[in-house]
Amino acid sequence: MNAAVTLSLSGPFARQGLDAAQGLALWAEETGVRLTVVDDGGSRRTATRAYGGWLDAGVELLLGPYSGGLVRAVAPLVCGAGKPLWNHGGSGDDLARPGLVSLPAPASTYFDGAVDEAAALRVGRLLVASGAGPFARAVAEGAVARASAHGLDARTVAAGSLAAEDAGGAVLVVGRFEEDVAQVRLLRGLSHRGTPRSTGAPPRGSPDPSGGTPGPPRPRGPALLGAVAAGLPAFGELGAAAEGVLGPVQWWPTSRTPQVGPSGADFAAGYRRLVGHAPSYVAAQAAAAGYLALAAHGLGLAVEDLPGWRTSTLLGDFALDGSWRQVGHRVTTIRWRDGRMVPLVPRPGAHGGLD
C-alpha cells in the first residue's frame, strides 16, 4: 500500500509540519504502508505539483498538507479527480467540500471551552485578537458568536492592537504560533514590568518577580487569557507567561479503544519511543488520518460512502454531515498549569445550554 503527503518541513508551518511527519512516520511503521513525504515549504505551487504527480502515478492514499491555505489549493485537484483527500491539517469552516475527509473539529468551535469558562467567571467583556486569514477569522467569529449567546459583550480586534486599557475581562488570541506567543508576552507584561505574569506559584529558587521594590500602579492583565498556540507543547517555552493560559487541542490521549487504529495512550507511547517526547495534537491528528484512510480503503468504501460512515479513531469520534463538515469530533480545552497542559474541567453550568 502506497501513501503520500506534502508537509511543511520548512517554511512558516515547519513546527506543525514536523510534528505531523513524525506522527505519520509512526503510522507507516506500524501498518507497513510505504509513505512518501515531500516538503512543500508552505508553497501552494509545490504542493499541487506533488499531488498532481501522485494522481498520475495512482498512489492509493493521499493525505492532506498542513494549513488551510494549502488544503484549499490541493483539494480541488484531488477531489476533482474523484479521490478522497484525508484532511488532518486544515480546520477552516469553509474547507468542507465533497471528497475532502476532514478529521479536525471546525475552527469556529476552537474557543468554545474558553468562552464557556469566561461566561462562568462572569467576566462581562471578551475580546478576540485575530490575525489575518480565513482560519483566524473563523475562530474569532465562532468565539464572538458563542460569547454573544452567553450574553457577553464580545468583539474582534486586530492582533497586536491591544492596549493596556483593553486588557481587562477575557482575551482570546488567534494567529500564527509566533504571533500568538508575542501577544501573550505583551499581555502578561501588563501585570509585571519586564517579567511575565504568572497565575501560579513561581518555580522554587526563582527570584521574586517584583524585585522586592514597589513601583507605580500597573495595568491589570486579563481575567482570562486564551490562545490557539497554547494547544502546542512548544507554548510551554514561555515559562511563567504560559501559566493559566487556555488553549484548544484537537486531541487528548485516553486509553479508550477506538474502532479504527490504536488508542490515544498507545499512540502516545509509541510516539515517545520513536521520537523521544510526547506527541502534540498535530501529530495525533495526522496519524489518525492515516489509520482512517487505510481502514476506509480496506473496507472498500467509495468516496460517496464516506459521509455516512460513523466510526472512531485515536483522535475521537468521526462523522461527516451531508455537507462534508466534521460533526463527530470536538476540541478539548486545556489550561497550562505548573509547566504542562491539563484538561480544563468545565464549571457547573458553564455551557449555559449552548450544546
Per-residue pLDDT of the chain (355 residues; tens, 9 = 90+): 999 999 999 999 999 999 999 999 999 999 999 999 999 999 999 999 999 999 999 999 999 999 999 999 999 999 999 999 999 999 999 999 999 999 999 999 999 999 999 999 999 899 999 999 999 999 999 999 999 999 999 999 998 787 656 667 999 999 999 999 999 998 888 644 333 333 333 333 333 333 333 433 444 578 999 999 999 999 999 999 999 999 999 999 999 999 999 999 999 999 999 999 999 999 999 999 999 999 999 999 999 999 999 999 999 999 999 999 999 999 999 999 999 999 998 876 566 667 6
Listed in sequence order, the residues at least 6 apart from 70 whose beta carbon sits closer than 8 Å to its beta carbon are 6, 8, 40, 42, 44, 47, 64, 89, 90
Residue type present at position 29: E
H or E stretch at 336: strand 332-337
Residue type present at position 209: P
- This prediction has a pTM of 0.83
Closest Cα partner for 16 from 114, 90, 93, 95? 90
Q: How many CB atoms are closer than 10 A to CB 338?
A: 9
CB 258 within 8 A of CB 312: yes
CATH number (3.40.50.2300, 3.90.76.10, 3.40.50.300, 3.40.50.10680) of 2-105+253-324 reads 3.40.50.2300
CATH number (3.40.50.2300, 3.30.365.10, 3.30.413.10, 3.65.10.10) of 109-249+334-343 reads 3.40.50.2300
Q: In what order do the strands lie in the sheet with 332-337?
A: 153-158, 125-130, 170-174, 224-227, 246-249, 332-337, 340-343
Residues 347 and 141: their CA atoms lie apart, in Å, by 23
H or E stretch at 19: helix 14-31
Query: Grid coordinates standing for 350?
Result: 458553564
> Pairing mode, if any, of strands 2-7 and 61-63?
parallel
Residue type present at position 58: G
Residue/partner pairs of 27-34 with CB below 8 Å, 24 or more apart: 27/286, 27/287, 27/290, 27/291, 28/3, 28/290, 29/274, 30/262, 30/270, 31/1, 31/290, 31/291, 31/294, 32/1, 33/1, 33/2, 33/3, 33/61, 33/290, 33/294, 34/1, 34/2, 34/3
Which residues of the chain form CATH 3.40.50.2300?
Answer: 2-105+253-324, 109-249+334-343
Provide the β-strand partners of residue 62. Answer: 4, 85
Q: How many CB atoms are closer than 10 A to CB 295?
A: 16
Residues 321 and 105: their CA atoms lie apart, in Å, by 12
H or E stretch at 184: helix 177-189
